[in-house]
Amino acid sequence: MGELILLVPVVTLMIASVIDLRTREIPDWVTIVLILTAAVAAVFGWAQIHWWMVGTGLLLGLGVGLGMFFLGGFGGGDAKLVTGIGAVLGPFGIWFFLFWMAIAGGLLAIISKLRGSRDYAYGPAILAGYIGYLVFPANIWSTLQKLMPY
């Protein structure tokens, strides 16, 4: 069941991305679904996430999201999505997610620039970051460990 619970955010983020592309807004219910998913996973012990991890991940996601919002890099909906994903992934997984989200966001910015646009929806980059987290976290960690000189 733990692996299945990780797919709920994929579907939720896909819906959010489509809405973001069409309207440039992300509804509040998306973040609520993500936080409730994390809470249910913690209550039933799915996906090896505990309450302290949900709370800490949520706070980290909120900090990063608000920081990017106040710096002008995110809209409010983007900040909410990162907060919700922080709750789902906890304090450790959020860093891998943020790495992949930044890579996807950079590619999205380059494509936007080449198309002559300055404004673009960041929801797809958040979705790509989450999918990157699901596919590649262990590979990055083992690669980084091999590169460390100790």
Q: Give the confidence band of 21 by pLDDT, cuts at 50, 70, 90.
A: very high
Confidence (pTM): 0.86
Instruction: Give residue-wise pLDDT tens across range 69-92.
Output: 999 889 999 999 999 999 999 999
- Give residues with Cβ within 8 angstroms of 58, minimum separation 6: 35, 38, 83, 84, 86, 87
- Per-residue HEC secondary structure of 52-87 comes to HHHHHHHHHHHHHHHHHHHHCCCCHHHHHHHHHHHH
Instruction: Give residue-wise pLDDT tens across range 98-142.
Output: 999 999 999 999 999 999 987 889 999 999 999 999 888 656 555
From CA 129, how far away is CA 133, in angstroms rounded? 6
* 144 pLDDT higher than 60: no
> 128: which 2 tokens?
């790509």
Count the domains in the chain: 1
Lowest-pLDDT choice from 29-33, 61-65, 119-123: 119-123
Query: Cα dihedral sign for 54, 3, 37, 103?
Result: positive
* 143 pLDDT higher than 80: no
Residue 88: domain span: 2-147
Angle at 77 between CA 30 and CA 46, to 5 degrees: 35
Q: For residue 131, report the phi and psi dihedrals to the nearest 5 degrees.
A: -65, -40
Q: Give the confidence band of 49 by pLDDT, cuts at 50, 70, 90.
A: confident
